[in-house]
Amino acid sequence: MGKYLVIALALVAGLLPAPASADSAGEALSLYNRFAAAQNAHDLAAVEAVLLDSPQFLWVSDGMSIWGRAATLKRMALFQTAEIWRVDPDLAAAVAVPVDERTAFLHLPLTLAIGSPAKGIDRVRFLVSVLCVETAEGWRIAALFTTGDKSG
C-alpha cells in the first residue's frame, strides 16, 4: 500500500509524467488528416497552419534534414509544381502512440502519386512518422520523418 501512496503523491506533485492519454493519439490522427488534405489541395497556407512555427521544426526527407517551417514549405512548394501530386495515406495501417496528454507520435505508410498524364505518374511508397504536439494555438506537427517503404 505504501508504494502506491508514494506514486500517487509523486503524480500529484508533478514529479512523474501523467499517464498518456488516448485523446492525444486521436488528435494526432486528426491533425495528420488535415495535413494530408492540405497537401492534396496544394494549399500551402493550410499546410503552414498545421506545422509548428519554430526553428526546431524538423523534416527528414530523402536523407536530408530540413529545419524550420519556412524551409519546409519552400521544399514542399517545389514538389507541388508537378501536375499530379497526391498523397494517399493508409489510415487503416496508421499507428498512433500517445506520449502524454499533449504529445503523440503517428506512424503510417502512404503512397505518393507524382507526375503528369502525358509523361507518366510515379507511385512511390513511403513510411511517415509524425511528432504531434499541443500548443497554445492547437495541435501542430513538430517533426516529420519520411523514408522509402521497403516492406514490399
Q: Which residues make Cβ contacts (< 8 Å) with residue 72, sequence separation at least 6?
A: 51, 57, 59, 66, 144
Torsion of the alpha carbons at 113, 115, 120 and 125, rounded to the nearest 10: -30
Is 78 within a domain? yes
Is 138 within a domain? yes
pTM of the model: 0.81
For residue 130 the three cell numbers come to: 509524425
Higher local confidence (pLDDT), 100 or 65: 65
Domain containing 135 equals 21-148
Q: Which residues make Cβ contacts (< 8 Å) with residue 134, sequence separation at least 6?
A: 24, 27, 101, 102, 103, 140
How many angstroms separate the Cα of 140 from the Cα of each of 63, 76, 93, 101, 152? 23, 17, 21, 14, 31
Is 92 within a domain? yes
Total domains, the chain: 1
CA–CA distance, 29 with 113 (Å, rounded to integer) = 21
- pLDDT tens digits for range 79-126: 888 889 899 999 999 999 999 889 999 999 999 999 989 999 999 999
Is 80 within a domain? yes
- pLDDT tens digits for range 31-45: 999 999 999 999 999
CATH number for the domain spanning 54: value is 3.10.450.50
Is 49 within a domain? yes
Is 6 within a domain? no
Is 135 within a domain? yes
Is 8 within a domain? no
Which DSSP helix (H) or strand (E) runs through 130? strand 120-135
